[in-house]
Structure 1
Amino acid sequence: MMRGTPLSRRGALKLFSAAAAGAALTSCGLSSGSSVPLRVSPGSIQPVPELEGVPLTVGSKDFTEQIVLAYIAEFALSAAGADVRDLSNITGSASARNALKSEQIDVVWEYTGSSWISYNGKTDPIPDALAQYEAVRELDLEKNGITWFALSLNSDNTYALALNRENADRLGVNTLSDLKRLGQEKPEELTFCLESEFVSRNDGMPGVAETYGFQVDPGRVETLNTGTIYTATSTGRACNFGEVFTTDGRIRALDLKVLEDDKKFFPRYNLGVTVRTETMERYPQLEGVFKPISDRLNNEHLLALNAGVDVDGRDPADVARDWMVEQGFVTAPEV
């Protein structure tokens, strides 16, 4: 899944040119990274002797959630004693994946659905989250030399359709199955704000409509970028229903109602940590560092983290460190 908007989900370009950053791009297109922006001290994450001084570069894709997660990973590894470099905000999911495979980065949080569908070309997602994870883990290990670990079953950043509270009450809809009834009774109310990709993807609008048995009139579809969709859906003027991502902080900020995917159509996009297999074989202690964090992360935490950046305008590193401190994983050194 290619997700996001500028730092509100698709961040600014973080490929450093000599003119912009004083450092030439490598032949593969990425710089060697920068230092971790904030200092942390150990909390529940204690120094790990096997990781002491080990150089590890953390990468991410170019949208808010990924950038915050990258900083969370960097603070965790720093507390464990590693020599951490930051190469977050890589433009494009495929570029971030290739950076991992080509050893430009060592650690990246990934989504099970992204690997299954976007990287490995599987057209039929697996509805059960754990089964999807196991299938992705096996495939990436055998085919790509990438190891998954620290699965978060409670964080699933998948697609959804949402509407504002006034329209939800007026139309009486709570689930995607309700759209079939609405289409039969008031077809003129089935108006949608969607991304261009979602309009045509099998795991997007065509599949939703087929699974839930309603018709989509192309004349009642507005094709917009992600950020505009949230605004348009909240006002309800351009459309009643908008495509959203389930951990986007703007859902809460705009008080949008997310329709339940009661037939479990949308693919699972659970979080896990990915590294090259040789890295995991050399440093199996990484799992012990990340598993408590993955166990703690859920959609509520991600909504709050994303809102801290996209709604409150805070720096992703500050939001990430504050959360790590609040959860007790690290401590903030006194100035």
Structure 2
Amino acid sequence: MARLLRIAAASAVTAAAAAALTGCGLQPASSYVPAAAPAAITAHHPKPGPPVVVTSKQFTEQLILGKMGVLAAKAAGYPVTDLTNVPGSVPVRRLMVSGGANMTWTYTGTAWLTYLGHRRGIPNPQQQYRAVRDADRANGLTWLPVSRENNTYAIAVRKSFAKRTGISKLSQITDVPPDQRTFCLDSEFNSRSDGFTPMLRHYGIPRDSRAGVPRGSVHIFDIGAIYAATAKGNQCNFGEVFATDGRIASLGLVVLKDDKRFFPSYNLSPVLSTDLLKTYPGLRAVYEKVAAKLTNDVMIELNRQVDVDGREPANVAFDWMVREGLISRP
């Protein structure tokens, strides 16, 4: 009976995620991925069992990583269900905890602060990873070794704005005239515990105050629109960005230094259901091989190919995995 209830709950969460996609006017990511053959990721010939259900959030990097997760499992011979492009961190987490999905890529900072409810990040990246890994065992999740990628949040400005105002670090926001302290954020960053308001508080900058960030100076955008809005400067001079986003350089933006070290490390790791790994222990080696090759420079380039060149995330993931010798063309 407990198993039936768990399956029913997982199905309900999956349906809710699909409904959320429709309600936001978004479509689920295409289930298309190119056909992939083994290479460094070898064929495992697993016994018949449940599918590897890969999920991801909806922004570019997560879509690319989600497709890597799908391609890696398929190349190794596992049954796969593509459940990528879920809007927001919390719905993805619910899918993973409920059993509606069993493989994703997660950032240590997101897990520690948003999922596990801690107020502050751990400064040392490895200590942060170990703390998250150990805490999530109770949730039936296994964190594989962390990658070198650190996709932390950041605040960026136009190069011309930085030059004109002399701003290069977050503590200098108050050096800018009050009417020019305008921000473009996405709704999640605006409300999360490691987001905008706590960042301002950390730097001693009051929100909704002329002494800090005046009322009405914060504009909410979809995450993909923030970069262009910040580059144009019509509605905001400061924009929330991800450190590995390929649009930062291509749009002439510069990242302000987090000189008081507010943002925690957001190192990336493959996270799988512990039950799934018991069924398919070979998946550990599959995803460890992919994670070992991921760095900030790698993801900046892959993200650029999608966001600037307009390529399909599945093709970007596939071509990179082939070049790295992880998979091969059939």
Is TM (by shorter chain) over 0.5?
yes
Q: Distance in 2 between matches of 1:325 and 1:232?
A: 35
Residue 172 in structure 1 maps to residue 166 in structure 2:
yes
- AA at the equivalent of 2:185: L
Q: Provide closer, same or farther for how the CA distance between residues 27 and 191 of structure 1 changes in structure 2, counting only shifts above 3 A.
A: closer
Tell me how many residue pairs correspond in the alignment: 302
Aligned to 1:147: 142
Matches within 5 A, 1:115-154: 115-142=111-138, 144-152=139-147, 154=148
2:5 aligns to what?
Answer: none
**Alignment equivalent of 1:39, drawn from 26, 35, 38:** 35
- CA offset at residue 272 of structure 1? 0.8
The match for 1:295 among 292, 296, 299 is 292
Q: Does 1:211 align with 2:196?
A: no
1:75 alignment counterpart: 71
**Structure 1 residue 303, shift from structure 2 partner:** 1.9
CA contact (8 A) 1:52 1:83 kept: no
CA 1:307 to 1:168, structure 2 compared with 1: closer, same or farther past 3 Å?
same
Amino acid in structure 2 at the alignment position of 1:84? V
Gapped runs of 5+ residues in structure 1?
1-24
Q: In the aligned structure 2, how far is the partner of 1:66 from the partner of 1:197?
A: 15
The letter for the 2-side match of 1:145 is G
Q: Does 1:89 align with 2:85?
A: yes
How much identity, in percent, do the aligned residues show?
A: 42
Aligned to 1:241: 238
- C-alpha displacement of 1:147: 0.8
Structure-2 change in CA distance of 1:29 and 1:105 (3 Å)? closer
Indicate conservation of the 8 Å contact 1:150/1:287, yes or no. no
1:320 and 2:288 matched = no
Q: Normalising by structure 2, what TM-score?
A: 0.82
1:161 aligns with 2:161: no
Q: Is the 8 A contact 2:96 2:102 kept in 1?
A: yes
Distance 1:206 1:64 in 2: 25
- For residue 263 of structure 1, report the CA deviation from its aligned partner: 2.5
CA RMSD, 1 decimal? 2.6
Q: Deviations over 1:213-268 (max 9, x none)?
A: 44523246231203332222112233322111222222132121011213221122
Which of residues 312, 331, 335 in structure 1 aligns to 2:328?
331
Matched, 1:62 2:58: yes
Letter in 1 for 2:141: I
Contact residue 137 and residue 148 of structure 1 kept, 8 A = yes
Structure 1 distance, partners of 2:198, 2:98, is 34
CA drift at 1:197: 4.7
Q: In the superposition, relative to structure 1, how do residues 98 and 216 fare at CA in structure 2: closer, same or farther (>3 Å)?
A: same
Give the residue type in structure 2 aligned to 1:59.
T
Q: 1:53 to 1:35 in 2, by over 3 A?
A: farther
Q: 1:11-61 CA deviation, whole Å, 9 max, x = no partner?
A: xxxxxxxxxxxxxx9544448x99663201122222235x46653222222
> Per the alignment, do residues 112 and 253 of structure 1 end up closer, same or farther by CA in structure 2, a change over 3 Å counting?
same
The 5 A counterparts of 1:179-328 are 179=173, 182-183=175-176, 186-199=177-190, 201-214=192-205, 215-219=211-215, 221-225=217-221, 226-328=223-325
Instruction: Name the aligned partner's letter for residue 283 of structure 2.
Output: L
Residues 102 and 224 (structure 1 numbering): CA distance in 2 closer, same or farther, change over 3 Å?
closer
SS at match of 2:146: strand
**Which runs of no fewer than 5 residues in structure 2 stay unpaired?**
1-9, 19-28, 206-210
Matched residue of 2:40: which SS? coil
Asked if structure 2 preserves the Cα contact closer than 8 Å seen for 1:160 and 1:246, the reply is yes
State the partner residue of 1:102.
98
Q: 1:248 to 1:35 in 2, by over 3 A?
A: closer
Instruction: Please state whether the residue corresponding to 2:292 is helix, strand or coil.
Output: helix
The aligned amino acid for 1:218 is: P
SS in 2 for 1:151: coil
The aligned amino acid for 1:246 is A
Q: Deviations along 1:94-126, whole A, 9 cap, x unmatched?
A: 222222233332211112222222222222222
SS of the residue 1:305 aligns to: helix
Letter in 1 for 2:156: A
Task: Output the TM-score relative to the length of structure 1.
Answer: 0.80
Shift in alpha-carbon separation, 1:317–1:192, aligned structure 2, 3 A: same
Q: Structure 2 CA distance, aligned partners of 1:146 and 1:105?
A: 11
Q: Is the 8 A contact 2:247 2:308 kept in 1?
A: yes
Opposite residue 76 of structure 2, the aligned amino acid is A
**Residues 67, 88 of structure 1: 8 Å contact kept:** yes
